[in-house]
Amino acid sequence: MANPPVGTPMPTKPQCGTCKTEQDLVRCQGCQVVFYCGRGHQVSDWSQHKMTCKPIKKTRNTVATEVDLLNAMPGSWMFREKPFENSVGHFWGIVDTRDYMRARYGHVEALLKIKNRIAVRTALDHLLDMLRLNRSDNMGLRDIVPALYLRLLCTCV
């Protein structure tokens, strides 16, 4: 799917990535942020869509792997067991969580290459959760969040 020109309104409802219809849509199982009205349109768009779909799927799998690694780590005096419950607010201060945070940021970057509201909203949700996990914002996420809110509010790319 080619990027629309800058200033083109972003659709408010999911649309087929090929014909822009809003009815009877199925979600791409790879990226989960692009929709199609049927298998034919998904197949015809694949040559363009795969350039953004594959990185999203890969980064989502990387994040899932990092979550599993963190959840499997035993607690110690420097690392609290169940960090997603016990270490909320200061993730970056725990060295073992940094690969997870970097992987999740990579997933956000991959999502933002798709120009639709679902991709922007999904990326925004990830960033807000990352800020919840790490209030000190060592990655500079607070600089990105307002722009994503504006993209959703003004419905423009």
Per-residue pLDDT, 28: 93
Domain-located, residue 10: no
Burial, 106: exposed, middle or buried (Cβ in 10 Å; 0-12, 13-18, 19+)?
middle
Domain count, the chain: 1
- Which helix (DSSP H) or strand (DSSP E) does residue 119 occupy? helix 117-133
Domain that residue 147 falls in: 50-154
What does residue 138 show for φ and ψ, rounded to 5 degrees?
-65, -15
Highest averaged pLDDT of the listed ranges 1-5, 32-36, 100-104: 100-104
Residue 3 has pLDDT above 60, yes or no: no
* Global confidence as pTM: 0.86
DSSP for residue 7 = T
Q: CA angle 63-65-66, nearest 5°?
A: 65
Strands 35-36 and 26-27, sheet pairing: antiparallel
Residue 26 identity (one-letter amino acid)? V
Q: 8-12, 35-39, 91-95, 146-150: lowest mean pLDDT where? A: 8-12
Task: Give the start-end residues of each E strand in 29-147.
Answer: 35-36
Domain-located, residue 106: yes
What pairs with residue 134 in β-bridges?
Answer: 89, 90
Residue 9 has pLDDT above 70, yes or no: no
